[in-house]
Chain A
Amino acid sequence: MLWMKNWLETRFRFFMVFTPFLLLIGMGFLQVGHVRPNTLIPAEQRLSGILAIFTLFWLVPGAMLASAGIKTQAPLQATKGLHGSVHFTLSLPVSRIRLLCSRAGLGVLEMAIVILVALIGFGFLIPLQFPELRLPPTDFVLYGVTVFAFDLAVYSLSTLLATFMDDLWQMWGAMLAVGAVRGLTALVKPPQSMDVFQALGANSSLLTHSLPVWPVVLSLAVAACLYSAAARNVRERDY
C-alpha cells in the first residue's frame, strides 16, 4: 500500500504544480490573437525567447515532486520531515530502496503527466501564436523528450538532496542548483550541441526539427548518477 501513502502525501503538491501550468497555457490561449506579435523580430527568435523563459518553469515539477520516500511528507505544507513516523516506516518489512523507488515512481509519473499536459497545450498554442512557422507534431514529441530528460535530472537532484535535507531546503536547493548550473553555462558557454539549456530554448526541437541527442543523453546520465547516489545515501545513513 505504499502507492496509497505516496499518493496521499503528494497529491496536493501535484495539483499545486499542475495548476500553474494549466493557468499559463490557459492564459496563453486567451491572449493569442489579441496581442499582435512584434513582426520586426523573426518568428524563430521570438519562439526561442519564449522557450528559454519557459525553461525555468520546466524545472519546477522535477524539483517539487521529488522525495526520498523515507521521511513522511506532510501533504499540504512543505514542513520538516516528521521524525517519529520514520521509525514506523523503517520498521516495516520493506527495504529502504523499495521505499525510495516506489516514491520515485509516483513522483516521476506525476511529473510526466504535468509535462505531457503542458506539452499538449503547447502543441495547440504555439502553432496558433506562430502561424508562419512550420511545426510538425513530431517536433513537439522530440521537445517533450528533451524536457522529460532534463526534468529527470532535476528530479534526481531533488531526490538526492531530500536524502539529507528537509523538505523546504531540498526544493529550493534543487532549483537554486539548477539555476547555478544555468548561470555557469552562460559564463562558460559549452558547445551548442551539448548544452541542455540551449536544447530547451534556442536550439530546441521546435526549431531544429531534430532530437538534441547529446543533451538528452547527458541529462539521462546525470539523472542516473544522482539517483544512484541518492539510493546509496538512503541505504547507508542513520535515521
Chain B
Amino acid sequence: MEPWVIETHEIEKSFGSQAALKGLDLQVPTGSIFGFLGRNGAGKTTTIEVLLNIVKPDRGTASVFGVPVTDTRQSVVVRERIGFVSEDKELYPYMTVSQVLRFTRPFFPKWRADLEKRYLDMFRLPLNKKVSDLSKGMRSQLMLLLAIARGADLLILDEPTDGLDPAAVEDVLRELVSIAAANETTIFFSSHQLAEVEQIAEHVCILDRGRAVVVGALDDLKARYQRIQVVVERELESPVRWVDGVEHVRQEGRTISLLVSRNVEAILHQVRSLPGASSEQFSVGLKDIFMETVRNN
C-alpha cells in the first residue's frame, strides 16, 4: 500500500482571471483522518475537483492511489474506490431516495448492503420521497450514505456535516471514527467547523488563498505552536524585526502578542532583550492557529 493516498505537487488552477490554487502541495497519509481547512474561496472545493478529475489543473501534478488524476482510463477504476460528498449536496432532484440507491448500487461491486440499511435507519431517510423534497441536512445524510455504503477505500467529503443539527453532526463524526478504526479507509474532509476537525482529525492542512499555509499532524501543531504574550515597559517606537518562527504579531500599547510556530528559544531570547519585558507562554488550539495564519496575512 502506498504511503500517500493523495499527493499533489505545485497544483495551479485559475478560472479565467481568478486564481483558485497557486501552487498546492499536499500529502495525505493512507488510513488517516485528514482535515482540510480554509476560509470560503480559499480553494478547498477546487482542490477536491482536481483530485476527482472534474477540473483539470493548469500546472502541477496530482495523484490518488498512486494514479495520476489526469489518467482518464485508470481514473474510472480509481473512482470505484472513492466515496464522495459534494459541497452543494445535490443529487438528482427528480429521483426518489430509493431510486437514487437503485441507480448508484450497480456501479460499486463492493457495495455494503448492511451499511446501507444501517444509515437508512440511523438517518431516517424516507425511501419514497423525492430528492428535491429533502432538506439540505437530509441530502447531506443521503450523500454520506452513498459515499460510505459503496465500500470505498478513500472518502473525500466536502463539508459533510453541512446543514446537520449538533446531534446529527456527532452521529456522523462517530461513524467516520468507527470507519477509520475498522479498516484502512482514509477520510479526507474539508470543513469550516474547526471543532469537528480538532475532534477527529489526525492531520490537518490549512489552505489560504490557494496555498497551504499550515500542514502537519494536529498533535504536533499543538505542541509546536505557542502564544507568547510580552509586556514591555515603554511602548516601542519601531516594530521589532522578529527572528524566524514568529507567524503573527499583534501589538496593542505595551502588550505584544506573538504566535510562534518554532524556534521558541531564540524568540524568547529576543523577547528578553527588549527593555523591561516580561513574558508568558500559552499553548494554542486550532482556532487560534487558524485565525492568526489565515486572516491578515
For the complex, is A74 an interface residue (Cβ under 8 Å from B)?
A: yes
For the complex, is B167 an interface residue (Cβ under 8 Å from A)?
A: no
Query: In this complex, what residue of B is CB-closest to A5?
Result: B103
Contact yes or no, A1 B54, CB < 8 A: no
Interface residue stretch chosen among A87-95, A152-160, A178-186, A196-204: A87-95
Select one of B15, B76, B77, B94 contacting A8, CB under 8 A.
Answer: B94
Contact yes or no, A1 B102, CB < 8 A: yes
Per-residue A-contact encoding for B46-85, CB less than 8 Å = 1, 0 else = 0001001111100000000000000011001111101010
CB neighbours (8 Å) of B56 from chain A are: 236, 238
Give the shortest distance, in Å, between B239 (CB) and chain A (any CB): 44
Rounded to whole angstroms, the CA-CA distance of A58 and B73 in the bound complex is: 38
For the complex, is A166 an interface residue (Cβ under 8 Å from B)?
A: no
We find that the number of chain B residues with CB closer than 8 angstroms to chain A is: 35
For the complex, is A85 an interface residue (Cβ under 8 Å from B)?
A: yes
Counting chain A residues whose Cβ lies within 8 A of the other chain, the interface size class is 20 to 34
CB neighbours (8 Å) of A72 from chain B are: 92-93
Give the shortest distance, in Å, between B143 (CB) and chain A (any CB): 7
Per-residue B-contact encoding for A79-114, CB less than 8 Å = 1, 0 else = 000111111101111110000000000000000000
For the complex, is A40 an interface residue (Cβ under 8 Å from B)?
A: no
CB neighbours (8 Å) of A93 from chain B are: 76-80, 107-108
Contact yes or no, B79 A74, CB < 8 A: no
For the complex, is A35 an interface residue (Cβ under 8 Å from B)?
A: no
For the complex, is A28 an interface residue (Cβ under 8 Å from B)?
A: no
For the complex, is B95 an interface residue (Cβ under 8 Å from A)?
A: yes
For the complex, is B91 an interface residue (Cβ under 8 Å from A)?
A: yes
CB neighbours (8 Å) of A92 from chain B are: 79, 104, 107
Contact yes or no, B54 A87, CB < 8 A: yes
Contact A94 B90, CB 8 Å, known A88-B84, A238-B54, A239-B54? no
Give the shortest distance, in Å, between A3 (CB) and chain B (any CB): 10
Select one of B49, B94, B102 contacting A74, CB under 8 A.
Answer: B94
Contact yes or no, B93 A91, CB < 8 A: no
Contact A91 B52, CB 8 Å, known A74-B93, A235-B72? yes
Contact yes or no, B72 A85, CB < 8 A: no
For the complex, is B89 an interface residue (Cβ under 8 Å from A)?
A: yes
Contact yes or no, B79 A82, CB < 8 A: no
CB neighbours (8 Å) of A90 from chain B are: 52-54
CB neighbours (8 Å) of A94 from chain B are: 76, 79, 107
For the complex, is B219 an interface residue (Cβ under 8 Å from A)?
A: no
Contact yes or no, A91 B107, CB < 8 A: no
Query: In this complex, what residue of B is CB-closest to A237?
Result: B56
Contact yes or no, A84 B54, CB < 8 A: no
Give the shortest distance, in Å, between A79 (CB) and chain B (any CB): 10
Rounded to whole angstroms, the CA-CA distance of A72 and B72 in the bound complex is: 21
Query: In this complex, what residue of A is CB-closest to B108?
Result: A93
Query: In this complex, what residue of A is CB-closest to B82?
Result: A91
Given contacts A5-B95, A72-B93, 13 further A-B contacts (CB under 8 A): A1-B102, A4-B99, A4-B102, A4-B103, A74-B94, A83-B88, A84-B86, A84-B88, A84-B89, A85-B93, A88-B91, A235-B72, A238-B55
Question: Ordered nearest first, which 8 A-B pairs have the shortest CB separation?
Answer: A84-B90, A84-B88, A91-B84, A93-B79, A93-B80, A87-B86, A238-B55, A1-B103
Which residues of A line the B interface, CB within 8 A? Answer: 1, 4-5, 8-9, 72, 74-75, 82-88, 90-95, 235-236, 238-239
